[in-house]
């Protein structure tokens, strides 16, 4: 992106907000923050009661002071290397959230996005996976792709690409599905295999996860191809966006709070918003217990999300995602505290926690019993992560056995 284009983006003072194909309103930059105003047609649209789970329809403008984006929209921004690339190429600060959102891709997670009249949507040709280097493609996207409409904007620090720009053999990718391609960071060369094994183990243990597989580029570099659950195929071959919000978004908190929120705060939000709260709360506790068993110390607030079923209108927890055994990288405590605790959990901790949300003790016992039975049968999948040393395999095996006993 040229310096002229970057300067133009920094001078964009209004963004059009869409939910799916419907214009919902506009965000305006102000001297002290920003202002959001609903579109009249969206207010009259009976298909929507709100823009986000917390942002209900209203005729008055909403004014935000101190920051130039509301928390929900800040949650649409990329993190990690993509965010650094945006800041560097725009020659702005990390606090200039409005400009960063203006420069991000329209095709974000969920169905709410923004665009400017200065930045028309562009399309890109697909490339055969066997003709490219995944890692070079990612590096190139940081130079200019992250600032164009041809690249999706994904939150999260892990290296990710939209698989919509890469074609794969039919045996790997189905034409009526949308995918994300994850890559290994330089300091963790087995991270995607780690995640794949955790996803397989989660599936064995009864958690809902989306299909994933390892694919290779022309240099035999691996990538983890994961089916997206925020896109649904339609009869005409296009994809319907599914409304989705992570816990920071549905709690109206900024992404910086993703490690500061407690598991109780997230569960309270689920209780308030889910169509069937008891069912979704039990799923959330199951996810937390599973993460404890696999040594996933990165279950933070942006890794727990709600979505609205496009057919039934049901608000429910999404399939589990970003499941990683961080114990392998010497991270042994949980990211989200449960009742002030982040390690050494016992079954009674889950019972006491769940009962405060009106979950029956029997339901929690049954869920944990089934989880432990399947985890014990299949925990060897963690030791099947490629390139582990004997010492690492032994540590993971001992960790799994110890945590199984903790939850007996």
Quote the DSSP letter at residue 272: H
Q: Per-residue confidence of the chain (408 residues) as pLDDT tens digits?
A: 555 565 688 889 999 999 999 999 999 999 999 999 999 999 999 999 999 999 999 999 999 998 889 999 999 998 887 788 888 888 999 999 999 999 886 778 999 999 986 444 444 556 677 778 887 877 777 764 444 444 455 554 455 666 665 665 655 677 778 888 899 988 888 999 999 999 999 999 999 999 999 998 889 989 999 999 999 988 887 889 999 999 999 999 999 999 999 999 999 999 999 999 999 999 999 999 999 999 999 999 999 999 999 999 999 999 999 999 999 999 999 999 999 999 999 999 999 999 999 999 999 999 999 999 999 999 999 999 999 999 999 999 999 999 999 999
Residues 6+ apart with CB under 8 A from 218: 129, 130, 131, 132, 133
pLDDT at 119: 46
310 and 170 assigned to the same domain: no
Cβ atoms 279, 317 nearer than 8 A? no
278 and 397 assigned to the same domain: yes
Distance CA(200)–CA(189), nearest Å, equals: 19
β-strand pairing of 231-233 with 33-38: unpaired
Number of structural domains found in the chain: 3
Range of the domain at 277: 241-406
Domain termination residue (choose one: 177, 203, 227): 227
pLDDT at 149: 44
pLDDT at 9: 86
- Residue 316 maps to which CATH number? 1.10.1070.20
pLDDT at 24: 97
CA distances to 198, 205, 293, 330 from 379, in Å: 9, 10, 9, 19
213 and 315 assigned to the same domain: no
353 and 266 assigned to the same domain: yes
Complete edge-to-edge strand list for the sheet that includes strand 244-246: 244-246, 305-308, 315-317
Specify if 15 maps to a domain: yes
Instruction: Tokens for 7, please give them.
Output: 């300067």
209 and 357 assigned to the same domain: no
- Residue 164 maps to which CATH number? 3.30.200
pLDDT at 108: 86
């Amino acid at each position: 992106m040229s310096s002229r284009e970057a300067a133009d983006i920094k001078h964009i003072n209004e963004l059009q907000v869409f939910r799916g194909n419907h214009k919902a309103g506009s965000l305006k930059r102000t001297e002290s923050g920003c202002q959001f105003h609903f579109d009249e047609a969206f207010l009259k649209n009976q298909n929507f009661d709100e823009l986000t789970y917390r942002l209900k329809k209203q005729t008055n403008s909403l004014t935000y002071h101190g920051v130039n984006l509301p928390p929900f929209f800040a949650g649409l921004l990329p993190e990690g290397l993509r965010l650094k690339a945006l800041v560097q190429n725009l020659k702005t600060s990390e606090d200039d959230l409005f400009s960063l959102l203006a420069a991000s891709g329209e095709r974000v997670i969920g169905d709410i996005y923004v665009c400017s009249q200065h930045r028309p949507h562009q399309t890109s040709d697909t490339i055969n996976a066997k003709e490219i280097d995944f890692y070079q493609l990612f590096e190139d996207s940081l130079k200019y792709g992250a600032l164009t409409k041809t690249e999706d904007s994904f939150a999260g620090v892990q290296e990710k690409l939209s698989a919509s720009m890469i074609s794969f053999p039919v045996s790997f990718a189905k034409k009526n599905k949308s995918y994300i391609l994850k890559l290994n960071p330089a300091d963790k060369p087995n991270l995607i295999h780690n995640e794949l094994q955790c996803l397989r183990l989660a599936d064995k243990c009864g958690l809902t996860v989306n299909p994933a597989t390892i694919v290779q580029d022309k240099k035999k570099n691996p990538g983890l191809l994961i089916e997206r659950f925020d896109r649904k195929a339609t009869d005409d071959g296009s994809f319907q966006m599914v409304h989705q919000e992570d816990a920071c978004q549905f709690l109206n908190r900024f992404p910086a709070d993703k490690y500061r929120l407690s598991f109780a705060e997230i569960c309270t939000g689920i209780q308030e918003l889910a169509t069937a709260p008891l069912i979704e709360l039990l799923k959330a506790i199951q996810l937390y217990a599973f993460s404890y068993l696999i040594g996933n110390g990165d279950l933070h607030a942006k890794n727990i999300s709600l979505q609205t079923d496009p057919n039934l209108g049901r608000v429910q927890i999404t399939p589990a995602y970003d499941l990683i055994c961080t114990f392998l990288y010497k991270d042994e405590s949980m990211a989200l505290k449960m009742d002030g605790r982040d390690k050494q959990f016992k079954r009674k901790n889950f019972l006491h926690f769940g009962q405060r949300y009106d979950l029956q003790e029997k339901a929690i016992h049954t869920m944990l019993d089934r989880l432990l039975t399947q985890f014990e049968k299949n925990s060897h999948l963690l030791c099947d992560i490629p390139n582990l040393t004997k010492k690492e395999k032994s540590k993971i095996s001992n960790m799994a056995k110890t945590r199984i006993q903790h939850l007996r």
